[in-house]
Chains A and B, each alone.
Chain A
Amino acid sequence: AQRVTQPEKLLSVFKGAPVELKCNYSYSGSPELFWYVQYSRQRLQLLLRHISRESIKGFTADLNKGETSFHLKKPFAQEEDSAMYYCALMPGSYIPTFGRGTSLIVHP
Chain B
Amino acid sequence: NAGVTQTPKFQVLKTGQSMTLQCAQDMNHNSMYWYRQDPGMGLRLIYYSASEGTTDKGEVPNGYNVSRLNKREFSLRLESAAPSQTSVYFCASSVSNRESGYTFGSGTRLTVV
A and B are partners in one complex rather than unrelated chains:
no
Binding site for A on B (CB under 8 A): none
